[in-house]
Every structure is written in structure tokens, then in C-alpha cells.
Amino acid sequence: MILRSQPNLRDILLTVQGSIIPAILGRLAVIGAVSLVAILAAKLHPGIFARISAIPFTLIGIALSVFMSFRNGTCYARWWEGRQLWGEIVVACRGMARASAGLDPQLRRRLLLSLCAFAAGLSARLRQRDENAAIAAWLPGDTLSGRPNPTDRVLQDAGAALVGLSAAGRLGEIRWSVLEGHLHRLSSAQAACERIASTPVPFAYSLLLHRTALVFCVLLPFALAGSLSWWTLLPVLLVAYTFFGLDALGHQLEDPFGETPNALPLDALCRMIEREMLDAMGTDSLPEPLKPENHVLR
């Protein structure tokens, strides 16, 4: 996730780090080359594009802008829902830490380490990393390889431990109900995150937008070169930057759990949970919170 203050004039004119330009630079170069071809053809053969009117491009551009705004709104909604779900995970972990106070220290430590393992495992699962290795870093004695959902298994084991404590009379029903409620919130948040990660925006929907934007930007120089000459580059590149930039930004927001600059900072969220759970255990040496690198928080 990019962390920067509101852009000033210098940022607007010069900043590349944190912008969408690196992701669309190749496409902008292609459109610039096509524009140069159109300009040179108009100069060598005056009137060759005289019958191409810019009016249809105005109408198509308006329709394309509306279509693109709907897609980007959909992608941003996915991104924001993902952030809300991880907020639920943080709240549930904090609730577990509070509600488990007073339990046997060893059992409580195991429970809070399970929460760290759950967060690490879910992050790895959503980012298609080694899920078992992420969990084993916090629960080295557990063997979860071969399980279809190791992260959910961590919650199942924690729930089974609480049931055992309740059955043995070492955990009151009210406290057990509260702790089980937090586990249920964690499980619900995981299922919702998996739903987002496994259900992308329909391919045909994205493909239609990609094709329309590309054809529009490729043909636009031929409608403007006859009347604007070298000035054609300015409006064409500005339109291409807007359309391709929104397209690329929507593609990044579509997968809120990915590793693009605009994805959610899952590593930083996991580190925050780890620090708070270790602090609840009374650990003196806590890992440092993750900080942005080149304005990007992972």
C-alpha cells in the first residue's frame, strides 16, 4: 500500500514512485509511436485524414469513461472489503487476548501463538506463499502438511483446546462462549477473504475494457493529426495516461491481497498482530513494526 501525503505541485509534475506510470509506460510508448506515425503521415500527405472526424471519439470517450468508472468502483469495493475483513481479524485477535486473561499461562500462550500462526498462514494463503512454513514459524510442533486448509486447521485446534478446557471444568461457559465467538469471527473473515481472492472480476468484462481503451487510444491520433499537427501528442498521451492508468489501477485493486504497490499491507498487519499478541504474553523483546520502503508498505 502506498503511503504518501497529498501531492503538491512538485509531486504532480515530477513524482514517478508511487504513481501508476511504471505499470503503463510501455503502452504509453506505443501510443506515442503511433501518434508520431499519424503526424508524419499528415505532414507528408496533407488532407489524408480530413474525412476522419473527432466527434465520434468524443462520444466513445464519454461512454468508455463511464464504463471504466463502474469497473474501478467495483475493484475498489473489493479492496475496501478486504481491508475491513483484516480489521475484523485484528479486532478478534485483541478480543481473544483480553478474554483469555486468567487462563493457565501455558495454555494462553499456546492460544495467542495460534492467533499469530493464523494471521501468518492466512496472509501466505492469500498471496500463494508457503502456508505451512508460515504457520510452522509460530507452531513448530504442529504437522499440518497435506491438510486442505492449514490455516483453518489452526482455528479448529484452538477451538478443540477450548472445548477440552470447558469439559474439564477449567473454563466457564460464559468465557468459553466469548472465546468461541472470536474464533467464529476469525473463521468468517478467512472465508470472506478466500471468496474475494478466488472470485476475480469476470475475464470478459476486463477484456472488453482493455480492447476498447486500446483501440480508442490507437485510433485517436489519426483523428487529431490533421488539425493539431505536433500538438496531437499532448491530448493523445493525456487521454492514454488517464485510460490506461485507470485500467492498471483497477487491475491492482481487483486483487487486494496481492503484492502490487496498491495492494493491502498484509505483512504489516500480521506484524502488528504478532507484536500485540507477544506483548499480551509478557514478551519483552518485540519485533519492530514494518515501515514503508520507498513509500510502499507491504
pLDDT in tens, 127-141: 999 999 999 999 887
Taking the C-alpha atoms of residue 113 and residue 96, their distance in angstroms, rounded to an integer, is 11
Taking the C-alpha atoms of residue 93 and residue 179, their distance in angstroms, rounded to an integer, is 10
Looking at residue 144, what is its pLDDT?
66
Q: Which helix (H) or strand (E) holds 177?
A: helix 173-198
b/e burial code for range 144-160 (CB count within 10 A of at least 16 → b): beebebbbbbbbebbbe
Looking at residue 201, what is its pLDDT?
85
- What are the average pLDDT values for consecutive 10-residue runs of the chain, which has 298 residues? 64 64 88 91 80 76 82 91 96 94 88 94 94 90 75 91 84 87 96 94 83 88 86 91 88 90 92 94 88 77
Looking at residue 167, what is its pLDDT?
83
Whose cell is 504513481? That residue is 19
Q: What's the DSSP call for residue 54?
A: S
Q: Is the pTM of this model over 0.75?
A: yes
What are the cell numbers at 221?
491520433
Other Cβ atoms closer than 10 A to 81:
15
What are the cell numbers at 203?
475475464
